[in-house]
Structure 1
Amino acid sequence: MNLLTVVVCTHDRAALLARTLDSLDAARRPAEGVDVLVVANHCRDGTHEMLQARSARPGGLPLRWLAEPKKGKSHALNLALREVRTPLLAFVDDDQRADAGFLQAIVDAAREQPEAALICGRLVPDWDGREPPWVHDPGPYRIYPLPVPTFDCGDAGRWLTPDIALPSGGNAVVRTEWLARIGPFSTELGPVGHDLGGSEDSEWFLRALGVGARLWYAPAMLQRHHVDPERLELGFLMRLARRRTESTVGLPGHEAGTGGVPGWAWRKLGGYAARALLTLRADRRRFYLMRAAAALGEVEGYRRLQRDARLAAGRRP
Structure 2
Amino acid sequence: MDLRVGVVVITHNRRDELCRTLGALRALPEAPHVVVVDNGSEDGTARTVRERYPWVELVASEKNLGAVGRNVGVARLETPYVAFCDDDTWWAPGSLARAADALDASPDVAVITARIVVEPAGTEDPIVAELRESPVRGRPGLPGPALGSFLAGASVLRREAFQEVGGFHPRLWLGGEEELLAADLAAAGWELCYLEELTVHHQASAARDADKRLRDGIRNTLWFTWLRRPVPAALRRTGVVLRQAEIGRPALGGVGAALAGLPWVLRERRVLPPHVEARFLALEDAQRRSAARRYVR
Q: Please state how far the C-alpha of 1:310 moved relative to its aligned partner.
A: 10
Amino acid at match of 2:114: G
Q: CA RMSD in A?
A: 3.8
Report Cα offsets for 1:239-289 as digits up to 9, x if no partner: 6444411221131477487xxxx8x979996xx7xxxxxxxxxxxxxxx8x
- Verify: 1:79 aligned to 2:65, yes or no: no
Q: 1:245 aligns with which of 218, 227, 252?
A: 218
Amino acid at match of 2:166: G
- CA-CA distance at 1:101 after TM superposition: 2.8
Structure 1 pair 255/216, CA: closer, same or farther in 2 (3 Å)? closer
Q: Deviations over 1:124-154 (max 9, x none)?
A: 322449xxxxxx9xxxxxxxxxxx8844433
Relative distance call for 1:297 and 1:50 in structure 2 (3 A) is same
Aligned counterparts of 2:96 and 2:15: Cα–Cα separation in 1? 22
SS of 1:39's equivalent in the other structure is strand
1:66 aligns with 2:56: no
In structure 2, distance between residues paired with 1:249 and 1:121: 26
Larger radius of gyration: 1
Native 8 Å contact 1:249 1:256 kept in 2: no
- Change in 2 beyond 3 A, CA 1:306/1:14: closer
Q: Secondary structure at the match of 1:184?
A: coil
Alignment of 1:164-179 (within 5 A): 166-179=149-162
Question: What is the alpha-carbon distance in structure 1 between the residues aligned to residue 42 and residue 212 of structure 2?
Answer: 25
d(CA) in 1 for partners of 2:195 and 2:144? 7
CA deviation profile, 1:181-234 (whole Å, cap 9, x unmatched)? 21132111123xxxxxx1322222221121111112212221121134687xxx
SS, match of residue 22 in structure 2: helix
Q: Is 1:184 aligned to 2:162, yes or no?
A: no
Aligned partner of 1:292 among 247, 250, 253? 247
* Distance in 2 separating the partners of 1:202 and 1:265: 15
Contact 2:18 2:87 in 1 (8 A): yes
**AA matched with 2:25:** L
CA distance in structure 2 between the aligned counterparts of 1:51 and 1:167, rounded to whole angstroms: 28
Work out the CA distance in 1 between the residues paired with 2:8 and 2:240.
Answer: 43
Structure 2: which amino acid aligns with 1:213? W
CA distance in 2, matches of 1:51, 1:268: 39
CA separation of 1:189/1:204 partners in 2, compared to 1, >3 Å: closer, same or farther?
same
The residue aligned with 2:101 is: 108
* Gap change, CA 1:291 and 1:157, over 3 Å in 2: farther
Supply the distance in 2 between the matched residues of 1:120 and 1:310 (Cα, whole angstroms). Answer: 31
Aligned mates of 1:242, 1:39 — CA distance in 2: 24
Counterpart-to-counterpart distance in 2, 1:210 and 1:173? 19
Tell me which residue corresponds to 1:203. 180
Question: What TM-score do you get using the length of structure 2 for normalisation?
Answer: 0.70
For 2:34 and 2:126, how far apart are their aligned partners in 1? 22
Mapped to 1, the partners of 2:239 and 2:143 lie a distance apart of: 41
Matching residue of 2:92: 99
Task: State the match for 1:161 in structure 2.
Answer: 147
Partner residue in 2 for 1:25? 26
Q: Paired residues, what number?
A: 252
Normalised by the length of structure 1, the TM-score is 0.66
Distance 1:179 1:307 in 2: 26
In 2, Cα distance between the equivalents of 1:267 and 1:110? Answer: 34
Contact 2:83 2:96 in 1 (8 A): no
Q: Is 1:224 the equivalent of 2:201?
A: yes
Give, in whole Å, the separation in 1 of the partners of 2:193 and 2:202: 21
Q: Counterpart in 2 of 1:303? A: 259
CA distance in 1, matches of 2:110, 2:201: 24
The one-letter code of the counterpart of 1:154 is: R
**Residues 96 and 297 (structure 1), Cα distance of their counterparts in 2 relative to 1, 3 Å cut:** same
Distance 2:83 2:241 in 1: 39
Work out whether residues 83 and 157 of structure 2, in 8 Å CA contact, stay in contact via their aligned partners in 1: yes
Aligned-partner Cα distance in 1 for 2:252–2:162: 35
**Which position in structure 1 is the counterpart of 2:34?**
36
* Cα deviation digits, residues 91-124 of structure 1 (max 9, x gap): 1111112222322322232233333122111123
Q: Identity rate of aligned residues, in percent?
A: 25
Quick one: distance in 1 between partners of 2:56 and 2:27?
A: 14
Distance 1:255 1:267, change over 3 A: closer
